[in-house]
Structure formats: C-alpha cells, structure tokens
Structure 1
Amino acid sequence: MTSEPLNRLDPAAVTVREMTPADHAAVAALLTAVNPDHPITAESLENELKFLRESSVNPHLWHVLAEWQGQVLGAASVLQFPGQYHPDRYSLDLGVHPDWRGHGLGTRLAAEVEAHLQARGARELSAGAYETWPVSVRFLEARGFTEHMRFFDNVLDLGTFDMAAWEAERHLPEGLRAVSFAALQEKLGREEAMRAFHDAFAEARADVPRTAPATELTLEDLTKRAAEPSACPEGVFLAVTDADEVVALTELWRSDAGPHRLEIGLTGTRRAWRRQGVALALKLRGLEWAREQGVTEIWTGNATTNRPMLALNERLGFRPRPAWVSFRRGSVDEG
C-alpha cells in the first residue's frame, strides 16, 4: 500500500462500517503495519476474537473499519478484556495505516467510537501508544485521556546469552522438579494437568501489576487459551512437587513474527514458594529449550512498576524497548 496525494482521498468517499470475517486478512495487515514489532496474522486475529467471544464473562466486542476504494485504511476496536472485566470498563484500539495518516481518518473513527461508547454508557476507557509515537499520544490527550501506567517490551538476544554462566541457578529447591506442561499432561491427563496449572496460574496472576483489578480466568477459559494455535505446551515449564502440585510456571508462546522468536506469557510463583529462585530456574529451562528449537529472540512485556520481574529480566540480559504508555479516561470507581 502506498500513499496518495491528500487531494486524492475524498473524505466523502470513505466508508466507515463494521468489520466482517471477510475483513480479517486486511485488518491483520493493517495492524501489522501500525505496530510492526507485534505482527499479527489473520489466523491469530480470528483466534483472539474467538477466545474473547467464548469467554465466560461474555465481553462486548465491536470493530469498525475506514475503507476507501476497497482498501482498509484504518480500524477501531472497542472491547472488554475478560481478565479485568467490569460491565462499564472498555478498551480502545485505534490505528490508521502509516501511508494514510493526516487525512482525518483517526478523527472520523474516534467520532464513531465516542457515539458507540456513549450509547453503552461506558464509564471507563483505556487506550495506549508507544512513547515514541508523539502524534498518537497527543491524539489521546486531546480526547481527555491521561497516562495511567507504562509497560516495557523486553527483548533477549539468545545468540549472545551465556547459558553456562547460569548453571547454579538452574537448580530448583529440594522437593521440586521441573517439567513441561506437555509432560505433565502426558502423566496426569489433560483435565488434571489443566486443573493443576490453573491453580498456580490463578494465584500467581493475581499479584501481577495491571491497569485494572484482575478478574478470574476460569478453568474453562484457560483450557480454551491452551488450545490456541500459538500455544506451545512443550515450552511451558512448571515447578511441581512430588504430589504433582504446580507451584510456579513460565510460558513460551509462538510469535507471528516467525520461528526465530518466542513470547513469554505469564511467569509466576505461588506465594509460599517465592524468593527461592524458582521463577529464575524455570525461565532458564525455557531459554535452554528455546535455543534448542533454533529461536534467537525472546520477547516479554512487563509493567514498569513490576520491579521484581524487571530486575530478574535485566539480570538475564533482557533489554527494554520504548515504553507502551497506557492511558485512561474515567473510572468505574468514580461515583
């Protein structure tokens, strides 16, 4: 897609309409152009939407496109995240293709979003932009958003990682052993393995800094999550007791960026086992496994307030990229 002179785009000829399944490939291409560090395929977009639609909390989802001469030039999504659900809390994602910025498409889509949210009586809305996107930051601030939190993408170059230097830290405390989720599932069966995983996941996740209070992801939700194409059960490492109780975990997920890259999902430890090096030992197992698969980059995201995990990642050699700034307008806690 290449840009046209400004006078070639007649605003009256731009159609704003709701997204259909036939648009998924074009929308995925748009989202990748807007944020190339986090590419997404049509298949991944479809699976994300499927997971949201099937969530136990039945979240609201609404997607509109700005289309001109058959090209998707911009898109906006209003949705409710199951993991921090409140009936009056929404999240906004709005993007315009880099070749078509400055044509008023963002303003047009924002007006559609405002009308939709007003009709729903929304009380809280979050959105975000990288600190290196000043136009996007000003766009949000002009519409009443204020900065709420910041998150880093942290990236580890596995090609320069010295695994041998971490040999002592790979050992778990006495009474624990490391297994992959795939191995635990083979031993216990899928249902029991998921139940053990869910118990540890829920406790560890409850203490992760986030933009809104965590709401429960049920066993059924996690089972569906584990069935997504990007899930990698061989790359999910668990610390388990002799009774197969999961006390800590770290997840690796496949990335749409390609086989050279994996993404870390949740890394966490149940409260009774914290500050004993368990999370570090599991991360090292995951890094070793990833290198064996030919992976050269590991990406993870951390809130800038999550000092323990940021410190751990910094020790391992992860390096932060520009911060993602989370903005908020309104609050469900306000009267």
Structure 2
Amino acid sequence: MTVLVRALHPDVPADAEGFARVRRLALPYILFTPDSVRHTAAHMHPDARFRPLVAEEDGEVIGTAQVHLVPDGSEPGQACLNIYVRPDRTGRGAGRLLVAAAEEYLTSLGASKLFAWAVDEPANRAFAERRGYRLGRSAHFLRLDLAHGTLPPLQEAPAGVELRTAAAFADDPRPLFELDAETLLDEPSDVAHEFTNYDAWLAETWNHPLLDRELTTAACVDGRPVAFTAAYTDGAGRYSTAMTGTARAHRGRGLAKLAKLHSLHRARAAGLTEAFTGNDTGNDAMIAINTWLGYEICGTEVRYVRELG
C-alpha cells in the first residue's frame, strides 16, 4: 500500500468529503464540512497562496494539510502548515510526506518562519521536534454538553442594551464587521491578523457556510453592536464559537458573556446537542466565562515554530 500526496481538488465531492472527514476524526473539536472546505479554498486571501494537500492511500484520503503564507503578517516570510492524519491511519508515512510537501512549497514562496498546530500528545510532539520545530504557545479546546448539561439561567440585558441576532443585520452587516475587526486585534496569537477589507470579510466570514446568523448574537447599544459571539453549526447537532469579543469601550460589563449565554440557550432549544469553543491557555478571562457557562476542557493543542535558513 503506497501513500501519495497531491493537491486537494475541492470541487471533487470525494476530495472535499475526505478532507472534512479526516479533520473531524483527527480534531473533532473544530467543525468541518465539505462545504466549509470548498469555501475556504475559494475565498482564502489570494496573497496567502493557499494550497490544501491530501495524503491518499488506495484512493482514500487519510491525511490533510492546510498550507499558506500569512498575508500582511507582522513580519515578512511567515507561513502556516497544519497537518492532520486519521487516527486509525497513522504510521504509514502520511504525516511525513505532507510536511515535506508543505515545507517545499512554502520555501519556494520565500517563507522563513513556519507555524504549525499539533494536538498535545507525546507522539505529535516528538514528530514536530524531530523536524526542527520548537514549542510555542498552547490553546485549550472546551466542550459543553447541550443535550444533558446545565446552562446558567437566562439573564436580562441591562438597561440600554438590546440583544440582536446577526440575521437582524442582513441588510447592512458592516457594524458587525467593524466590531469583529476591533476585537480581532486583541486575540492572542503568534501571527497578527486583522480585517481591513470589508468585501473580503463579507466573502470569507459573513458568507461562511457554517455561520449561523440566527444563533450569532450581538449586544447592542443605541442600535450598534458592542459585544458579540459568532456561532457556527454543522447541521449534525454541533455548535462552535467562531469568535467572542467586546469593543474596548464597553468591556467589564459582562456583555459578551450575556450574548453567548443567550446564543447557547437558543442553540439548545433548536435541538443542538454539543457545543465547542477554544481559548489560548493564557486567556484566563474567557476561560472563566466558558467555565461559568458549563464548558469543560476536552483537549489541548500546541503551536510549533520553525525558522528556516
């Protein structure tokens, strides 16, 4: 049995389905569907030079790689490669071949600093360190049992604050774009990201196939969103928080927590059974909010960095 690495063909159903299946099996805490795979391939920033790869064995996709430069990064030459192999197909060389292909491609584009996430397990750590990657930051995955767990009771919005869903901004989502752009600046990360292009945000974020506009919730003051939680759903009973944040001028009032609480209650009422979120391990404030909501840590991912040349 031979493992081959090739480019993903997102418009081929078997490829998109295989890619999503590997990601669900290897990292079940993040929502992936064939539609989301196609969407990312079509709408990633062109300067990212995005190249998704698959490792294939006897016609079956058993490993995946998301490979791209960091557009407008805080320093030149930054790039990302995230490699995942089906847990029941490890030991066949798929990961090694995917890393080699990804590094070769990124080197050809002039990349000099590579970032890679890996599930925090001894075999994954050893795999990364053998290839010259050094350990960086870490992040927790958290899970909430919506079907059987207990959510805190609903709370009323304070005076002057109104809760609205993203669907209420369908005619003009720009206020949500501006809030998303502001809060992203404070998101803990090795790599600086920012939203500066509204049309790109519409294509990549607002029209993302997993974004649930009825569950995405904003706390508004004078009709303008000042805190929000963005909700993804996969059509299979699972909910995930894509982003939660508050405008700097309105922090300390519990508005993001309120928005997320209401979103989760509506998700449970809609029949969703489990919710996921993720936090940098140093983000104590958000971890405390999620613990209050009933989330429990279910996994950890570590960031590895490799300097080239």
User: How do 1:195-206 and structure 2 match up within 5 A?
Assistant: 195-206=174-185
> Structure 2: where are the runs of 5+ without partners?
none
Tell me which of 287, 294, 304 is aligned to 2:271. Answer: 294
Task: Give the structure 1 partner of residue 198 of structure 2.
Answer: 219
Task: Give the structure 2 partner of residue 231 of structure 1.
Answer: 211
Tell me which of 248, 265, 281 is aligned to 2:258. Answer: 281
**Deviation string, structure 1 residues 261-311 (Cα, Å, up to 9, x no partner):** 211121111111110121122122112211221123221111111111111
User: How do 1:63-142 and structure 2 match up within 5 A?
Assistant: 63-80=52-69, 88-131=77-120, 133-142=121-130
Seen in structure 2, the aligned counterparts of structure 1 residues 181 and 37 have a Cα distance that, compared at 3 Å, is closer
Deviation at 1:230, TM superposition (A): 1.2
Task: Give the structure 2 partner of residue 307 of structure 1.
Answer: 284
Q: Which of the pair is proportionally richer in helix?
A: 1
8 A contact 2:33–2:234 mirrored in 1: no
8 A contact 1:155–1:298 mirrored in 2: yes
Amino acid at match of 1:252: A
**Deviation string, structure 1 residues 24-82 (Cα, Å, up to 9, x no partner):** 22332333333344463322211121221xx3x63111233333432333333311355
**Deviation string, structure 1 residues 187-235 (Cα, Å, up to 9, x no partner):** xxx23xx111112111122112122122225221222221122111111
Aligned length: 304
8 A contact 2:41–2:52 mirrored in 1: no
Task: Give the structure 2 partner of residue 43 of structure 1.
Answer: 35
Q: Distance in 1 between matches of 2:159 and 2:96?
A: 59
Tell me which of 22, 27, 33 is aligned to 1:30. Answer: 22
Q: CA RMSD in A?
A: 2.4
Q: Secondary structure at the match of 1:58?
A: helix
Q: Distance in 2 between matches of 1:206 and 1:234?
A: 25
| Greater gyration radius | 1
8 A contact 2:30–2:276 mirrored in 1: no
Moved more, 81-90 or 287-296: 81-90
Q: Secondary structure at the match of 2:124?
A: helix
Q: Distance in 2 between matches of 1:83 and 1:281?
A: 34
Tell me which of 160, 164, 168 is aligned to 1:179. Answer: 164
Q: Distance in 2 between matches of 1:83 and 1:301?
A: 24
Sequence identity, in percent? 29
Task: Give the structure 2 partner of residue 15 of structure 1.
Answer: 4
Q: Distance in 2 between matches of 1:249 and 1:83?
A: 26
Moved more, 213-222 or 294-303: 213-222
Seen in structure 2, the aligned counterparts of structure 1 residues 14 and 302 have a Cα distance that, compared at 3 Å, is closer
Task: Give the structure 2 partner of residue 157 of structure 1.
Answer: 145
Q: Secondary structure at the match of 1:231?
A: coil
Seen in structure 2, the aligned counterparts of structure 1 residues 180 and 64 have a Cα distance that, compared at 3 Å, is closer
Seen in structure 2, the aligned counterparts of structure 1 residues 75 and 208 have a Cα distance that, compared at 3 Å, is closer
Amino acid at match of 1:58: D
Q: Distance in 2 between matches of 1:59 and 1:280?
A: 33
Seen in structure 2, the aligned counterparts of structure 1 residues 237 and 97 have a Cα distance that, compared at 3 Å, is closer
Seen in structure 2, the aligned counterparts of structure 1 residues 247 and 123 have a Cα distance that, compared at 3 Å, is same
Q: State the TM-score, normalized to the length of structure 2.
A: 0.88
8 A contact 2:68–2:106 mirrored in 1: no
